[in-house]
Every structure is written in C-alpha cells, then in structure tokens.
Amino acid sequence: MNGSIITKNTKFLIVGLGVIGGSYAQALTRAGYTVSCITRSEDSIRYALERKMISYGTTRVEPSLVAEADIIVFALYPEIFIKWIEDNQSLFRAGTIITDVTGVKGGVVKKVQSILHPDVEFIAAHPMAGRERSGVEYSDAAVFKGANYIVTPTEANSARAIATCRELGEILGFARISELSPEAHDEMIAFLSQLTHVIAVTLMTCTDCEGMEKYTGDSFRDLTRISKINDLMWSELFLLNKDALLAQMDAFSREFERFRRDLEAGDSDSMRATMRLSAERRTRFDKK
C-alpha cells in the first residue's frame, strides 16, 4: 500500500497477550509475519507458543526485543498503556511505528503522542471486534472477518504511519477500514459500543430475574450477551469517555420516554411509525 512500511520481513511485537492481542498475533503469524510478545503471564505465552501464534514471548521488557520491532501493537488497558510508554520509551528504535487497540481515544492518543520522543510515531486504531470473554485462550482471528477497523489519526501523524496502520487492518482481515478523528471516534463509540453495554448491564440488573431462563427467548439473550462484561476494563473506558457517554444515555432516555408516552396514550400510529423507521435503518447494519 502506498507509503506503508510493511514488507514481508516486518517484525511485529504485541504488548499484552489477551483476547485481542492474541487474535492479532494469530492473524499476523498466519499471514507470514514474525510476531513476538511481551505479556504478564507465563501461561499465556506457553499457550500462544504451543499453538504457534507467536515465535517468541517473554514476561520481561527485553530491550533488544523492543528495539528490533518495526511495529509494536499495544493491547493493554488505557492507563497501563500510557504508563508503559512513560517507563520504557527509551528502548524504541527510531522509525518504529506504534499502534494500539484502545476502545477510547480522547484521553489516550494525544497523551501518548505528547510524551513520545519525536522519532517514534503513534498511530491509534480501534478494531471493532471483541468477545465477551477475556484471556488469550479466547482469542480467534476469525472475529475480524466482516468487522470494522477504525484508524484515528491526529495532525501529528504522517501519511506513512496512516498507510501502515490501514494495511495492518487489511492484513488482520477486517472488512472495512475507516478513519475518524479521536474526538469523532469517541462520540461514535459512546453510542455504538458504550451505550449498548450500559443497556445490556441495566437489563440484566433492573429486575430480579431468578428462574427467568426457563421462559426466555432469543431477543433477551441477544440484548444481554455483552452484559458478561469485564468490569475493570469497561468502568475505566466509561470514565475516560464520560461526557460523550452521558450525552448518549440522555438521548436514549429521551427517546425511550417518548415511546413510553405513545404506549401510555395508546398511540398506535406513532409507535408504528417509530418501528418502521427502526426497521428501515437497521437494514444498513447487516453484516456483508
């Protein structure tokens, strides 16, 4: 791709081998690249080595491993990611490109760009694919198939880094690669991802549903699948994007309240018009 630094000899380093880091490792190794990793757990490394997802893994920050990498993917929680950069950036080789998978960009991208030495470039991205379980043993490169990948460049980014990050999305197997500013990304994600998680959790906790599994249909299962949530990660992501999420929650509440008034008034015509708009809009979101 025009400007991308990726060649068949490009060396990838994944920092954080969880469900997403592991899926990146699997996809990149399958595509023929050399992939090593730094992660906290020996068990995760053993698991990934046994399944040939990586060629090397370590729990220590080995200076030579960091210096050899052409592209480093950080698949860590936001605060741990920022701390890692602060502590270890002296190890980066000039020209290295850094990317991430963080679900919120506002508090992360400019912060990392501002602390990084000028000879290393951070281009942020958000793979819109995940699983409701965490840990490398749930990783699966197949989740990227048909999914969206969002690159979130700032004015600090070069065309070369953006092209590299887009090519990474293609190698991983994403169906659609887009670009958004970090701010537009966070607004979008507040609606498409964070609000949906708040709704799923609320649905699961608003009523004491003891025994209800005997009576449920698929609609309730669909709406609550993501309520099996990683509470540490998501509470951090929500707080990093608080204002945008609060605004989306309020927009949802207003529309929910409008529907409630129609129902209470028995206004069938208005309820049906809302349902028709919803059905028509939803067709655009079908997976290709």
Closer residue to its own copies, CB minimum distance, 84 or 191? 191
Closer residue to its own copies, CB minimum distance, 50 or 264? 264
Closer residue to its own copies, CB minimum distance, 25 or 240? 240
CB of 94 to its own copies, least distance (A): 33
Residue 150 as a binder of its own copies (CB under 8 A): the answer is yes
Residue 80 as a binder of its own copies (CB under 8 A): the answer is no
Q: What distance in Å separates the CA atoms of residue 53 and residue 59, rounded to the nearest whole number?
A: 16
Residue 56 as a binder of its own copies (CB under 8 A): the answer is no
Residues 35-54 that bind its own copies (CB under 8 A): none
Piece in contact with its own copies (CB under 8 A), picked from 24-32, 46-54, 116-124, 267-275: 267-275
Q: Which one among 130, 153, 173, 182 touches its own copies, defined by CB under 8 A?
A: 130
CB of 91 to its own copies, least distance (A): 32
Residue 264 as a binder of its own copies (CB under 8 A): the answer is yes
Q: What distance in Å separates the CA atoms of residue 2 and residue 246, rounded to the nearest whole number?
A: 40
Residue 91 as a binder of its own copies (CB under 8 A): the answer is no
Residues 184-243 that bind its own copies (CB under 8 A): 185, 188-189, 191-193, 195-207, 209, 212-229, 231-232, 234-236, 238-239, 242
DSSP readout, the chain?
A: -TT----TTPEEEEE--SHHHHHHHHHHHHTT-EEEEE-S-HHHHHHHHHTTS-SEEESS--HHHHHH-SEEEE-S-HHHHHHHHHHHGGGPPTT-EEEE--S--TTTHHHHHHHS-TTSEE--EEEE---SS-SGGG--GGGGBT-EEEE---TT--HHHHHHHHHHHHHHTBSEEEE--HHHHHHHHIIIIIIHHHHHHHHHHSS--TTGGGT--HHHHHHHGGGS--HHHHHHHHHHTHHHHHHHHHHHHHHHHHHHHHHHTT-HHHHHHHHHHHHHHHGGGS--
| Number of neighbours of residue 195 by Cβ within 10 angstroms | 18
CB of 83 to its own copies, least distance (A): 18
Q: In this structure, are strands 148-151 and 176-179 parallel, antiparallel, or unpaired?
A: parallel
Of 190, 181, 71, 172, the C-alpha closest to 122 is 71
CB of 33 to its own copies, least distance (A): 25
Piece in contact with its own copies (CB under 8 A), picked from 14-22, 40-48, 54-62, 265-273: 265-273
CB of 145 to its own copies, least distance (A): 11
Closer residue to its own copies, CB minimum distance, 114 or 215? 215
Residue 148 as a binder of its own copies (CB under 8 A): the answer is yes
CB of 199 to its own copies, least distance (A): 6
Angle, helix 231-240 to helix 78-88, in steps of 10 degrees: 80
Residues 154-183 that bind its own copies (CB under 8 A): 176, 178, 180
Closer residue to its own copies, CB minimum distance, 59 or 253? 253
Closer residue to its own copies, CB minimum distance, 120 or 247? 247
CB of 185 to its own copies, least distance (A): 8
